[in-house]
Structure 1
Amino acid sequence: MEERINHTVDIGEISEEIHKTHKGFSQWTSEANSRNHQAIVQILVDGRDESDVESEGCPLPTLVYMAREKRPQHPHNFKAGAMNALLRVSLEISNGPVILNVDCDMYSNNSKSVQDALCFFMDEDKGHEFAYVQFPQNFNNLTKNDLYAGSLRTINEVDFHGLDGNGGPLYVGSGCFHRRESLCGKKFSPTYKAELIGGKPQITEVSAYILEERSRGLATCTYEENSQWGKEVGLKYGCPVEDVITGLSIQCRGWKSIYYNPQWKAFLGLAPMTLSQALLQHKRWSEGDFQILLSKYCPFICGHGRIGLGLQMGYSIYCLWAPSSLPTLYYVVVPPLCFLNDISLFPSASDLWFIPFAFVIGAKFTCSLIESLWHGETLQGWWNEQRMWFFRRTTSYLFAFIDSVAKLLGINKLAFAITAKVADEEVSKRYEQEIMEFGSSSPMFIILSTIAILNLFCLVGGGTRLLMDGGVTSISSWFLQLLLCWCVVIIDMPIFEALFFRNDSGRLPSSTIFTSALIVVLACLIPML
């Protein structure tokens, strides 16, 4: 299929063979392309037809292909627009009360997940309260030590279980079973239990051709004009994380959600295989979450009186990812420069005020380490998680913060960045060997290499000054700043390897080295001016 798609893109038109095989393409012209085409709705397998059976004679379920209309002059609203078009078309064809949403790079790994979700929805006591059942996002291409911390272990194994006790987890866009009515804007009411018992899926006797014709009009660009689609109905538009903001609005209408994390993983997908992909993915997530905090959908505004304080705070963890970049950036730039220039910022190790700092540092890393080992992570995997936490905060979250503020000021417009998951053979081989992939002069990599070189220079320069001035006895006064520089240098070891020692295509380019070195020199000269 991939070869046929690529061949069609190369020749710029639908071949005669495809026209004959797939009638949905019959009206396509040579000018049509992925961004400019009509709506296609084709019932490939009609579940009502007795002839549509599998090899053992069991009837096959209805299978429908849909491609919504796209025109350059009409915004297509990315994934949210596609989901809303699917909602309308499925309403016309089946009107099934439960909808499963799975991303294109994920697949079902456990067929019992459908039964598991229905058990929650059909629970006699509380099932009527649930709008959606969220399964975790798991991946089948993670390395042994999870090089890029793509497992989302803390979110899947800790955070979401906590949210489950406060009204339910976030909707994360994939592996989620929705109650159709809640997704289409219905408010929760205590009487909904009786309504659910009486509700039935739509069964229609009209022909597949008529159903296709009706449904095609629901997938056009103009159908949503002057309507509530993307506002009060369906997934919401205008936010890079349309899933999170949609889930929040559903919960603010009185519904609850439920998190289910079975030992036999329900859905598996592909995690990013390069550092740039991993950072770009978190940049989009953190940018969208921060925009929610700055909008009328802020959990403490939209959720006031509608959801509990615990759930409001749970959402805020992710909404504050982007601004958390600022204090992190301060701690990896200012203390090292002050250490180099003989300016003490923290209490001495012999001072009583050193105890709170030691407690916070020790408790944070001890708790994180215990969580990782408890959930089956390796020691190296935990260290990789700490490294990626640092990389994200100084790059992904920083750019997300800047872009969000710029959008708020009207300087730039919303853009939806798709995270690529495909890598060539060399990149895949290095990923399996757990070698970090750089290979470009991204502004994010310039920031990472600048911080690495700055801390190394300050560690060497400040350490040399300490030895010359007071020797080992003076280390006590500078212990925290020395420890901070040393930790950043150790975390950044893959950066130094990519800057100075690697010769493969995944190393950092020379331009990044020169740019970062120049910035470090200027930063060190500023205090002397």
Structure 2
Amino acid sequence: MHNRGWRSIYCLTKQDAFRGSAPINLTDRLHQVLRWATGSVEIFFSRNNAFLASKRLKWLQRLAYINVGVYPFTSLFLIVYCLLPALSLLYGNFIVKNVNATFLIYLLLMTLCLIGLAVLEIRWSEVSLEDWWRNEQFWLISGTSAHFAVVIQGLLKVLAGIEISFTLTAKAVEDSDDIYAELYLVKWTSLMIPPIVIAMINVLAMVVAFSRTIYNITPQWGKFVGGAFFSFWVLAHLYPFFKGLMGREKKTPTIVFVWSGLVAITLSLLWVAINPNSGPTDANTGGSSFKFL
């Protein structure tokens, strides 16, 4: 409509014009986000994307539609950011090679900008700090699961003409008397695999780095704590995901951990095969102070 020159206005009625029920359990919420992102990716790969729009579309409208169309692709960078701390711990070096005053100044400025942006978002939207933090957590959860799946699905469809779908296995709610029974319902879906793999790799990296620090001749605990903080920050964002994955009975489908464990072990072994002597070099022996056998 906007591409053809039509104008639209936002109408806010005194009474709700439409009402619907929002999903409250983890699986249904992920599939809702999956449907939203699927529409954005389909529009991006169609002739109706904002890059090919006519001159009737205003620049701010074009920018807004571009943002709506490309946001699922940020999941690729988000997954890299979530794995960088783990790779840093496995490799034995910090993410930044030389930590100097210039790097710390840039880090401080970026942190202050992010804090300022968060404050503006909270004041503008009039939400609590806890709600804002929950939104940040689910942004990472949905980015590493539903958004990533949609991007892979869209690329396979465009490049190879392959149609894939991410389905779930429904499970009946046993406690019909509890109005929140659906909240604790756990359904298996392949969207759960990437976040669990990311968490497992970060935990594995922290264990490896901790073991290497203990058995090192000159343990560098400051270096370990600095590197492990970023992995812990990733795990802190994934906390609601695991809380929803457990359900009321604290039970999770075994297949979730089986597939996630296999993928995590495969990626770790692949990293070891590519760079087997990735530990820090010991000055006395001239070799690696930590080696994978």
Give me the TM-score of the superposition, normalised by structure 1.
0.45
Alignment equivalent of 1:302, drawn from 29, 53, 66: 53
Aligned 8 A contact 1:347 1:354 in 2: no
1:493 to 222, 231, 239: 239
* 1:380 match: 130
Match of 2:67 in 1: 317
1:281 to 32, 42, 50: 32
Please report how far the alpha carbon of residue 326 of structure 1 lies from its aligned counterpart in structure 2 after TM superposition: 0.6
The letter for the 1-side match of 2:193 is: I
Question: Closer, same or farther in 2 for the Cα pair 1:295/1:488, shift >3 Å?
Answer: same
Equivalent residue letter for 2:109: F
Q: Which residue of 2 aligns with 1:453?
A: 200
Among 258, 263, 266, the alignment partner of 1:519 is: 263
Asked if 2 retains the 8 angstrom alpha-carbon contact of 1:387 and 1:491, the reply is yes
Q: 1:440 aligns with which of 187, 203, 224?
A: 187
> Aligned with 2:102: secondary structure?
coil
Q: After the TM superposition, which of the residue ranges 322-331 and 456-465 deviates more from structure 2?
A: 456-465
Gapped runs of 5+ residues in structure 1?
Answer: 1-249
Within-5 A mapping of 1:350-499: 350-372=100-122, 374-413=124-163, 425=175, 428-429=179-180, 437=184, 439-466=186-213, 468=216, 469-474=218-223, 479=226, 481-497=227-243
Instruction: State whether residues 74 and 143 of structure 2, in contact with CA within 8 Å, keep that contact through their aligned partners in structure 1.
Output: yes
Q: Which amino acid in structure 1 is aligned with residue 93 of structure 2?
A: I
User: Are the structure 2 counterparts of residues 407 and 508 from structure 1 closer, same or farther at C-alpha, using a change threshold of 3 Å?
Assistant: same
Q: Which residue of 2 is the match for residue 256 of structure 1?
A: 7
Confirm whether residue 337 of structure 1 aligns to residue 87 of structure 2: yes
1-structure distance, mates of 2:12, 2:122: 17
Shift of 1:337: 2.1
Matched residues in 2 for 1:414 and 1:438: separation? 25
Structure 2 counterpart SS, 1:451: helix
**Deviations for 1:375-419, whole angstroms, at most 9, x for unmatched residues?**
3323322221111101111111111111111221353359899xx
Q: How do 1:158-173 residues align onto structure 2 when only pairs under 5 Å count? A: none
**Pairing of 1:198-277 with structure 2 (within 5 A):** 250-261=1-12, 265-277=16-28
For the aligned residue pairs, the C-alpha RMSD in angstroms reads: 3.3
In the TM superposition, what is the alpha-carbon distance from 1:372 to its structure 2 partner? 3.0
Unaligned ranges ≥5, structure 2 = 274-293
* Deviation sequence 1:49-102 (CA, Å, 0-9, x none): xxxxxxxxxxxxxxxxxxxxxxxxxxxxxxxxxxxxxxxxxxxxxxxxxxxxxx
Structure scoring higher RCO (CA < 8 A, sep ≥ 6) equals 2
Aligned length: 267
Q: Kindly, what percent of the aligned residue pairs are identical?
A: 21
Alpha-carbon distance in structure 2 between the residues aligned to 1:510 and 1:284: 26
Kept after mapping to 2: 8 A contact 1:290/1:322: yes
Contact 1:498 1:507 in 2 (8 A): no
C-alpha distance in 1 between matches for 2:87 and 2:166: 37
Local SS of the residue matching 1:440: coil
Provide closer, same or farther for how the CA distance between residues 442 and 474 of structure 1 changes in structure 2, counting only shifts above 3 A.
same
In the alignment, the residues of structure 1 paired with residue 164 and residue 60 of structure 2 have an alpha-carbon distance, to the nearest angstrom, of 30
1:251 and 1:307 in contact (8 A); partners too: yes
Which amino acid in 1 is paired with 2:256? T
Offset at residue 520 of structure 1 (A): 1.9
Q: Secondary structure at the match of 2:19?
A: strand
Q: Rg larger in 1 or in 2?
A: 1
CA pair 464-357 structure 1, distance change in 2 beyond 3 A:
farther
Post-superposition shift, 1:292?
A: 1.6
